[in-house]
Chains A and B, each alone.
Chain A
Amino acid sequence: AQTVTQSQPEMSVQEAETVTLSCTYDTSESDYYLFWYKQPPSRQMILVIRQEAYKQQNATENRFSVNFQKAAKSFSLKISDSQLGDAAMYFCAYRTALHHSNYQLIWGAGTKLIIKP
């Protein structure tokens, strides 16, 4: 069974600085998708960034980028130039890309990100 681990329950960063949230996962599959979701205090879960396992290039979305290390089964999220609006719970999630399988998202426990003004 696949598992996702977020070892940092809480992180804080000064506004405008850079922070990295860690995520590791365990799987025997070779093809899968990884996601970072953000859930601000207003509750709406929003997709931040996604990565396909077969793509070697790290995904980037504006100030958000990932460091995907497939061999190490690591998928960290880097937020550059942190803004007050980045304060939220961040969840890492895994989903299989194999057919005839269970396609549900496997979630990490989450990391609460605090932005200090």
Chain B
Amino acid sequence: DTEVTQTPKHLVMGMTNKKSLKCEQHMGHRAMYWYKQKAKKPPELMFVYSYEKLSINESVPSRFSPECPNSSLLNLHLHALQPEDSALYLCASSQEWGALSYNEQFFGPGTRLTVL
């Protein structure tokens, strides 16, 4: 199984709502990532989890709260978002967070988030 799954596919939320994005992989990967992608732009790294511990937080506002309950699952909790947070949110995983070989990242299909 070389698949990363993400739910939901689409999400519309108001600025006062609380919602969560979910990501799952069963490839035995120990690194998982959250990216934000605006239209026609490359992905921007938000968070990296390595062995279920937060390794990288790219100065992301606290209205985004990541969680890694176990090695297969990654959540992104959303609260009090702004309209400019509307974007495609991509999850990815790789064998490890490190210099080991290619460590290629496998991406999920993304969640299209719209903040009204």
Those of B91-112 within 8 Å (CB) of chain A: 92, 97-99, 102-110, 112
Report chain A residues within 8 Å CB of B108.
Answer: 44
Taken together as a complex, chains A and B put the C-alpha atoms of A70 and B51 apart, in Å, by 34
Chain B positions within 8 Å of A, measured between CB atoms, are 40-43, 45, 48, 56, 88, 90, 92, 97-99, 102-110, 112
Report chain B residues within 8 Å CB of A11.
Answer: none
CB of B99 within 8 A of CB of A103, answer yes
A50-B104, A112-B40 known; 13 other A-B pairs, CB under 8 Å? A43-B88, A43-B109, A43-B110, A44-B107, A45-B43, A47-B104, A50-B102, A89-B40, A96-B99, A105-B45, A105-B105, A108-B42, A109-B42
Query: Residue A107 at the B interface, CB < 8 A?
Result: yes
Interchain residue pairs with CB less than 8 A apart (6): A35-B104, A44-B107, A44-B109, A52-B102, A103-B97, A112-B40
Counted as pairs of residues, one from A and one from B, with CB atoms less than 8 Å apart, the total is: 53
CB of B104 within 8 A of CB of A45, answer no
Interface residues on A, range: 20 to 34
Taken together as a complex, chains A and B put the C-alpha atoms of A98 and B88 apart, in Å, by 30
Closest 5 A/B residue pairs (Cβ): A107-B42, A45-B107, A44-B109, A99-B99, A43-B110
Choice from B40, B90, B99 contacting A97 with Cβ under 8 Å: B99
Taken together as a complex, chains A and B put the C-alpha atoms of A107 and B35 apart, in Å, by 12
Interface 1/0 per residue, A78-109 and B, CB below 8 Å: 00000000000101010111110111110111
